[in-house]
Structures are given as C-alpha cells and as structure tokens.
Amino acid sequence: MAKQYWLMKSEEDVYSIDDLEADGSTCWEGVRNYEARNNMQEMKEGDMVLYYHSNAKPSGVVGLARVSREAYPDHYAFDPDSNYHHEKSDPDDPTWYMVDIEYVDTFPERVPLSEVKEVDALQEMELVRRMRLSVQSVKQDEFERIKKMGGL
C-alpha cells in the first residue's frame, strides 16, 4: 500500500515540535473527535506527518514527523485522573485511539496558514477548507508543496 500523508495539530505551548525533537517520539493521546480518531485509525507505520502549531502567532506548519506505531486504544480515556478521561469508555470496547509519532525534522521557515491560503494549488487542502480538524489527511502533492515552502 502506498504511503499516506497527514497533518496533526498541537498548540505550541502544549507540545511543540521542539518538545517532539527533544523526546524523539510521543503518543498522540487525547483526541476526542470521531473524524480525527478515524483518521488516526487509518494511519500506517511510516506515514509522514506535517506538524502544525495551532493557536500560535502565526499558526502554521513547523516540521515533519512520522507515524511510528499504528492506532491502539487510548488508555487515558479509562483513567479518571486524566484530563482525557471519557467516562463512557470501556477497555473491552474502546472508543478512543492514539498513535505514536516520531520526530523527523523542523522546517527552517514556519509555513503560516495565511501563506497556505494564498497558494491556488492548496485551496482544496483540508487545512484550508476545515481548519478546526486536529488530524487531517493530506495529499502527496500538498505534502510536498508545504515541505518545500518550509525550506526542506
């Protein structure tokens, strides 16, 4: 199967690309949107990820990551002490999943959302059409264009 491409959003002050670089890899827990969850369930080990800082000045794509572990139950959903607890979650029939991602590279230049919106070839990108979705699919040509805009 061909490699797929994704965009994943994190607030810069919550978990930045620098945090990912320092840690090397992380689990992507706490997603509580069904469409974003379904996207994560589609991810395969080796798929590439555009790492996006949301609620930043400016918000934009800041680097690359790679899926290092495919979807597995988000155990934080079962933990009543977790910020991501979901009281209706059942370990025997999980609702919420997470994936692991690993650091690949940081862009020399952040690619602000405002610049993405100015590129005609990116007008159909989910980032432009559906900005609020935290885990989105990306077409290969969109991925390559954003990567180039970021200086890689």
Q: State pLDDT tens for residues 27-51.
A: 999 999 999 999 999 999 999 999 9
Q: What is residue 130's predicted lDDT score, i.e. its pLDDT?
A: 80
Domain range for 59 is 5-147
What is the CATH number for 135?
A: 3.10.590.10
Q: Total domain count for the chain?
A: 1
Residue 100 in any domain: the answer is yes
Residue 152 falls within a domain, yes or no? no
Query: Is residue 1 scored above 60 in pLDDT?
Result: no
Cα 115 from Cα 33, distance rounded (Å): 27
